[in-house]
Amino acid sequence: MPCSYDGYVIGDGILFYLDTNELLFVGRAPTVNWIEFHGQTGGYKVDLIRDDRSPSHPRGNAVVRRHYRYQIQDLTLPKCLRRSMAVRYRT
């Protein structure tokens, strides 16, 4: 959870581990802006790639993203995953 120097919360988000030295932060724009600013100005040895949110109404235009995330909430999720992925899924 990014916080200011005074301890005030900037925002929250989810930090995903993708691979060694590769992380993905998902959160609202103000939080992403704060992380990006400090990554660029803080003297850190990092590469930042921004993947802005898709528009809610793309108006017929193609939406291209670097990463896609899906959230599924259902009581039958394990059964759904087994069927969709055709692999064994331990519950």
Amino acid letter for position 59: R
pLDDT digits (tens, 9 = 90+) for 25-73: 988 888 999 999 999 999 999 999 988 877 778 888 887 888 777 777 7
State pTM to two decimals: 0.65
CA atoms of 81 and 2, how far apart (whole Å): 33
In sequence order, which residues have a C-beta less than 8 Å from that of residue 46 and are 6 or more positions away?
39
Residue closest to 9 by CA, chosen among 28, 25, 36: 28
